[in-house]
């Protein structure tokens, strides 16, 4: 016999006597709240809690969506874009710390981004990285040729535009392609976790922060040191991307999931290695020896 059965029997007897006395009476049944049922259901599924913490379930996503639901302004107004930069300094620093020190088994989007994705951090990280690469590349070229009498330092301002095109194209076009691919696969496989375009841009933007100090240290004119730094930064920032997007594709076909993660790592490696090879490991240029005309009509070669 279940506990509380006598109490329920007494309630049913009272309800029966009430209906017998007054047929028009209405009885009200109080059931157990849904929250208690859901808690008991989760206790019966021990593996569910870990998955919810890593990826989140539909109930948590709906709750967060309804909690932050508000009337949005039209996209042609300033207020519409202002919401993308509505973030405080502590949130930005916390997300930067999460991208530099990734926690194994923790999803970066669920842990830092989903509550309030922003473009403030990614924009300034990309902008700072552009100037760090361009300025450090110029200084590296200067230190390599320092002391050569035939070398005259000329700032290469074109490196700023090249670095800006490369960094911002990577930070926007790759997330756009990945978002489109995840949306397409989500229509094929229902269990795939989907991210919004803003969340993917946010992840890629914050994952580039580690390259800012790396680009400054690339000034050191030692190829071994530079390649050690690029491998360290690649592993650190690449792990953030892998731990974020692997849960989104792991329920897909095994080959497609591995190919997707492999493409993410490959594009990330091409960015870091390409920046190092173009801006810092440029080939040596042999400067022509100046020819100084003599007063008697002959030419003299200036000694180095």
3-class DSSP string for the chain: CCCCHHHHHHHHHHHHHHHHHCCCCCCCCCCCCHHHHHHHHHHHCCCHHHHHHHCCCHHHHHHHHHHCCCCCCCCCCHHHHHHHHCCCHHHHHHHHHHHHCCCCCCCHHHHHHCCCCCCHHHHHHHHHHHHHHHHHHHHHHHHHCCCCCCCCCCCCCHHHHHHHHHHHHHHHHHHHHHHHHHHHHHHHCCCCCCCCHHHHHHHHHHHCCCHHHHHHHCCCCCHHHHHHHHHHHHHHHHHHHHHHHHHHHCCCCHHHHHHHHHHHHHHHHHHHHHHHHHHCCCCCCCCCCCEEECCCCCEEECCC
Share of the chain above pLDDT 70, in %: 64
This prediction has a pTM of 0.69
Location of structure tokens 């569910």: 48
Does residue 52 carry a pLDDT above 80? no
Q: Which residues of 260-273 are buried (b: 16+ CB within 10 A; e: fewer)?
A: bbeebbeebeebbe
Dist. CA 207–CA 210, nearest whole Å: 7
Whether residue 268 contacts residue 242, with contact meaning beta carbons closer than 8 Å, is answered with no
Dist. CA 17–CA 2, nearest whole Å: 24
Average pLDDT of the residues in 103-120:
85
List the beta bridge partners of residue 293: 299
Name the most confidently modeled range: 49-63, 181-195, 270-284. 270-284
| Between residues 204 and 40, the one the model is more confident about | 204
Average pLDDT of the residues in 35-60:
45
Average pLDDT of the residues in 24-36:
52
Average pLDDT of the residues in 202-226:
93
Return mean pLDDT, the chain: 76
Average pLDDT of the residues in 49-66:
45
Q: What is the pLDDT of residue 129?
A: 96
Instruction: Read off the pLDDT band of 286 (50, 70, 90).
Output: very low
Q: What is the pLDDT of residue 252?
A: 83
Cα–Cα distance list, 22 to 19, 40, 220 (Å) = 5, 39, 94
Instruction: Read off the pLDDT band of 287 (50, 70, 90).
Output: very low
Instruction: Read off the pLDDT band of 41 (50, 70, 90).
Output: very low
pLDDT tens figures, 146-201: 777 777 777 788 889 999 999 999 999 999 999 999 888 888 766 666 788 999 99
Whether residue 207 contacts residue 171, with contact meaning beta carbons closer than 8 Å, is answered with no
Q: What is the pLDDT of residue 96?
A: 93
Q: What is the pLDDT of residue 117?
A: 87
Crossing angle, helix 197-207 and helix 158-188, to 10 degrees? 140
Q: What is the pLDDT of residue 143?
A: 82
Residue 258 has φ and ψ, to the nearest 5°, of -65, -40
Dist. CA 192–CA 301, nearest whole Å: 71
Does residue 101 carry a pLDDT above 80? yes
Does residue 81 carry a pLDDT above 80? no
Does residue 240 carry a pLDDT above 60? yes
Residue 290: both structure tokens together: 């100046």
Q: What is the pLDDT of residue 298?
A: 54
């Amino acid at each position: 016999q279940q506990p509380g059965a006598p109490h329920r029997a007494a309630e049913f007897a009272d309800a029966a006597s009430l209906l017998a006395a007054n047929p028009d009476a209405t009885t009200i049944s109080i059931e157990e709240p849904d929250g208690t049922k859901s808690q008991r259901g989760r206790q019966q599924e021990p593996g569910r809690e870990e998955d919810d913490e890593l990826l989140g379930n539909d109930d948590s996503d709906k709750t967060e969506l309804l909690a932050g639901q508000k009337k949005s302004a039209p996209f042609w107004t300033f207020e519409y874009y202002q919401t993308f930069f509505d973030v405080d300094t502590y949130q930005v620093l916390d997300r930067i710390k999460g991208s530099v020190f990734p926690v194994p088994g923790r999803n970066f989007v669920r842990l830092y981004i989903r509550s309030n994705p922003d473009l403030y951090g990614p924009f300034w990280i990309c902008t700072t990285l552009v100037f760090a690469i361009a300025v450090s590349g110029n200084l590296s070229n200067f230190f390599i040729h320092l002391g050569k009498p035939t070398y005259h330092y000329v700032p290469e301002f074109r490196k700023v535009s090249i670095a800006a095109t490369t960094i911002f194209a990577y930070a926007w076009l790759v997330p756009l392609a990945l978002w489109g691919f995840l949306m397409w696969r989500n229509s094929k496989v229902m269990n795939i976790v989907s991210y919004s375009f803003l969340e993917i841009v946010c992840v890629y933007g914050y994952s580039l922060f580690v390259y800012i100090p790396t680009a400054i240290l690339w000034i050191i004119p030692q190829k071994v040191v530079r390649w050690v730094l690029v491998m360290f930064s690649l592993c650190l920032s690449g792990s953030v991307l892998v731990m974020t997007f692997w849960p989104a594709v792991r329920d897909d076909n095994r080959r497609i999931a591995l190919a997707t993660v492999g493409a993410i790592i490959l594009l990330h490696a091409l960015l870091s290695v390409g920046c190092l090879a173009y801006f810092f490991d440029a080939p040596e240029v042999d400067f022509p020896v100046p020819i100084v005309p003599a007063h008697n009509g002959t030419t003299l070669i200036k000694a180095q």
